Each structure stands twice: as C-alpha cells, then as structure tokens.
Structure 1
Amino acid sequence: MTDSSTKYAVSPLPRLSVAPMMDWTDRHCRFLHRQLTRNTLLYTEMVVADAAIHGDRARLLGFNASEHPVALQLGGSDPDKLAEAVRIASDFGYDEINLNVGCPSDRVQSGTFGACLMREPDLVARCIGAMKAVSDVPVTVKCRIGVDEQDPEIALSDLARAVIEEGADALWVHARKAWLEGLSPKENRDIPPLDYDRVYRLRQDYPNIFIGINGGVPDLNQALHHLNHVDGVMIGRAAYHNAQILADADRLIFADDRGPVDWDAVCSAMMAHAETHIATGGRLNHVTRHMVGLFQGVRGARRFRQILSTESTRPGAGPEVIAQAFAEVDLAGLTAAA
C-alpha cells in the first residue's frame, strides 16, 4: 500500500497510471490490472460528487484492498460538495483524490464539470482548495491543454497556476484539446492533434510539481520516452484493450524485477474474485468482460476470447469458465518469452 503522506512532488520514482475510463475501470478491471502490475497507479471511473454524497457509497466507492495504490476521480464544480465527497471517500482509504477537468462527453458537460471547467480556472482552484482542506492524501487534477478555441499556451498555464497556488499535488495533462462544439467525444480522440511538447513545457515551468502526461500512449516504450520529459505517464485505451502490456510495467517503469507475472496465479486470483462476486449476486461476465484484451498475439488468444465472450454470459456460468479459457493459451511460451 502506498504511503499516503508522500507527495508526488518528492516521489523518487517515475510514475505510470491507468487512466480513469467511464464504464471500463470499475473494481473488476482494477483487480485484474493489479494482478499484472504491483506499482502502477490505478484510477476509478469518475464518480460525481452528488452521487458520492447521496448514492450507494459501498457500490460507488468500495474497492478491494489489493487494488492499492488506487486513486478516486471525482467530478463536480461545487467546492462544498466536492469537499463533502472527499470526506466521505476518506473512510475508504484511497491513495489519491483526482478532480476531472478533462472529460469532453455531453453527459459531463451537462453537469458543468469535466473539460468545460478549463474555461474557469478560478473555480477549479476553489474546488481544489476545498478538497485539499479536508484530504489527508494527495489531491490532483486531470485536465486538457485547452478547449475549443482556447490558446493552449494561455489556457493550460492559467489553470496550472491557479490550482498549484491552491495546493494541487500533481497535474495529469491530456495533451489534446477537448473540442466541446462540433466534434463528438469519439472524434475528439483523434482530432485535433496531440501536442506533447506543450505538456513538456509545463513541466519546465513547474520543476517542483509532479506533471504527468496522457493521451495516445500506445505502449511502455513510448511511456519511457515521455518519462525523459515529465514525471508520470497515464495510459488509457491501450492498457484496457491490451492489458498484457501492464505485465512489463514493474520491470520497465519501476525497476522492480521480482520476476515475470505468474499467469497461473492470475487465473486463480480471477477465479476467486469472480466466485466472490457471483456469491454476492453478480454475474461472471461483469468480471470477464475486462479480460478479453489479454494475450494479444499469443497462441490460443482467439479461443481464449471466444470462451470468455460466449460462455461467461450463459445462465449459471461460474469461475470454471476462466480456467477453461486460460487452458487454451500457450502460457508456457508466454512465460519463456518474458
């Protein structure tokens, strides 16, 4: 478990994290990712402050202790509500609290939070100040370099200055503008172009603050390149669709060489996790839907995906389906290659 008193600004290690992704990085996804990497910071899906205050807290905020280090991402724009959400979350033991100032979806915009807050750096700063006042762990911001017609040189600097003055411990910057008008969130994944250099320049402006980069990072090799310029790298869709890349993260990113991933142990852990979930009323495919991205390019991977996709949705499907799927993969060859 991460020492929650350690601020990112003095972290001795470059950092890797898996981005918060709505409908994807739930507790089952994070449990899987933790079987592959001991050190990578994992993020929850965004939880709206109102939901944390008024909703089912155990369902929205609960997580398995093995997920540490794990960060909660909150969405909102009301400083008082965000502070209350942080108070509530503190009982669950997160290692970091993050404010969403980057998501461009219509659902987020309608709630006046996410990327549209790039236009209101003073409001974001008040939110961070309120969250910091009640948090015992780092409070961070995930933002864009700008939105719509904003000049990224000005917009990102204004936001960074405002939140750092209020004590933000780190900024994770998605190196692409959010386009809130005229593009769908899907189109915004590729348009406009990424501008990594803008994030690198922000790091030069704030050498004593942790600056992490996000957006279009396909693998750990590119992550290592970015770590020559910034303090941390956040991987999103690539880590979800090809989760196997996380199996090399501890060795390549954290210099933690405690040996390769034990895939038999991963199988056993996921079976036990699924059994617990099913026993509490859940379904197997809630767990296995996050596993289909394993083993790309490995012999037996196609059959692995077929079994998980078809058998896990059948009535009464149990953890044995996971064992059946793993049995189709050339795990011996995979371990030898590692």
Structure 2
Amino acid sequence: MKFRVIFLKKKHIYYSVLVTIILILSLILLLTRKSSPTFNTLVDNNKLLQSDLTGDGKKDILYIKTEKDKYYMEVNTGEKSLLLEPDKKLPTVGIYDVSNPLKVTLMDITRDKTPEIFVQASQKETPLQHVFMWSEGKFKDIFCASNSIIGFSDCTNNKTPRFMTGKLTSNKIELSTFMYMHDVSKLENVVFNYKDNYMGKDSIFSFIKYIEALPGSEPNKPANIFYPGLSGQDISVIGKIAGENNTYAFQNCIFRDSKSDKNGDTSEITWTLNFKGISNLNKDKIKNYSLNVLLKPNGKAEENNYFKIYSITLD
C-alpha cells in the first residue's frame, strides 16, 4: 500500500492561517453580538427606525407620527401595521414639543434577542415614559410613569440587565430599579440601596445644575466632576452653549453602561442629557440641546464623584 505525501507551498500555508484567523474573529464577533443587548435611539425628527422588533429575524419598521401635535407610534411588520397603544393609566405617548421631542430607545433587557421599546416624551411640561414589549402577537405597554430619567445597567457583562427610572430632585437624582422576571412575565420593582456615586449620578447632577446656571456660571465649573486632562475641545462645548445666551432647563435623559472590565464592573457610562434652551434676547426662540456625556472611573470606588466626565459632545 502506497502513501501519498502532500507538500504545501508557503502561500497556501499563509492563506490557511489567514482563513482560520478570520473564522475565529467572526465567531467572537457573533458571540459578542448574541450576549450584548440591542441599544439604539430614535428622535422624532428622524421619524423611522428599522430593527427586528418581533423576533422573527426580519427587520420591522417603527414609525413616529403626529396628528394635531399628538404622537402616535406604529410598527410595520411587513404583514400588518400595529399601533403601540399606551396603558390606560397613562393613555398618551406625548404631545409634540420642539424643545423636548419624543425619543425611542431599543434595549433588550430580557436578553431574548428581541428589544423592548422605551419611549420618552412629555405633555404640558409633564415628562412621560412607556415601555412596550412584544408578547403574544402584539406590543404591550408593560410600564409607564411620569419620570424624566431612564437608565440601564449590566448591559455589557453577564449579569441580569436592570432598567431604571427616576427624576431630578432639588439635591440629587433618585432612581427606582426594575428587572424582568421571566416566571411572571413582567417587570418587577427591586429595591437597591444605591450609593450617591452609582452610575455617576452625583457627577451628572452637579453637571446638570451647572448647565442650568449658564451663562453666568461658566467661569465657576463644579470641582471634582471632570476627568483629569479633559480636552479643550470638550470644554469648548460648554463655552458654545454659554455663548448662545440662553436660559437652560433640564428636560430628560437616558444613561447606560457602555463598557465593563474583566470582572464585570462598569468602566464606562454614557449619559445623554436633554435641555430646553430659551433665548434671553427673544423668549419665542426655543431650542432643544442634547449633550452626550461619557464618564470613566477615577479614584476610589467609595468616594463621591468616582465616575468623572471624560468627554462631552453636542448633537
């Protein structure tokens, strides 16, 4: 019996190694995508968002419509159009307001690869929130509240994701936590004793108050909330806002952890803060300002302002 020996040329070996590397990287990317929650935000001036909202592997289309300044939301699944109907406890998704447009965020807090739909808007200066979930062939409003803050944690590790809702008080940010319980198929309020520096909320509170006091407060930046070496480009964003000579009022915000370390601890947090800007020269001139703020840890975990502002951008 004869054995045939096959000799490979160097270029064939290189190609084989390259293909193997590509396959490994593709597998890693696929696994990462499966374990990471969906996160996407739509503001009403975009009107349309495409994503798989029903878990069938096909992209659906989420529309935002206004009739007589009242918001309506609809999902086109290809076969039919489904209206997102708010719960009777809060029977509206909001009224159009140029200074506070409706915002939609997709986040898979159940980790079933089908995102829930988180809505933020307002009606006559009252903030509104809704959470819609695909269940039994329709979108159900599983949570609603008159709060101004939505947040998510444990998005980038292997822990159970938390959904948080809250508001700005006179001296701090207050949060309540909800987790989706599969055995009862609903969001349950879970009590956590959060520290003041949790998810950087102490630093963000000081930053919001600083923005609301512009333009007069520009020279007096709050101490200990900015990351060492914050770039001039980031600081110039504050100067630009101050230079427009407006009175600013906080409207609402959303936050999430955007990166975790190997221990599963949060190493980056993203906050998007929305302000109403009313011109001090013309009270009829009103505009929405959206600030993206990135925080990173600096110092000791038990210290106040442990998460500090690392970058600031203006949409």
Which of the two has higher C-alpha Rg? 2
The answer to whether the superposition gives a TM-score over 0.5 is no
Structure with bigger strand share is: 2
Provide the TM-score with structure 1 as the length reference.
0.28
Q: TM-score, normalized by length of structure 2?
A: 0.29
Structure in which a larger fraction of residues adopt helix: 1
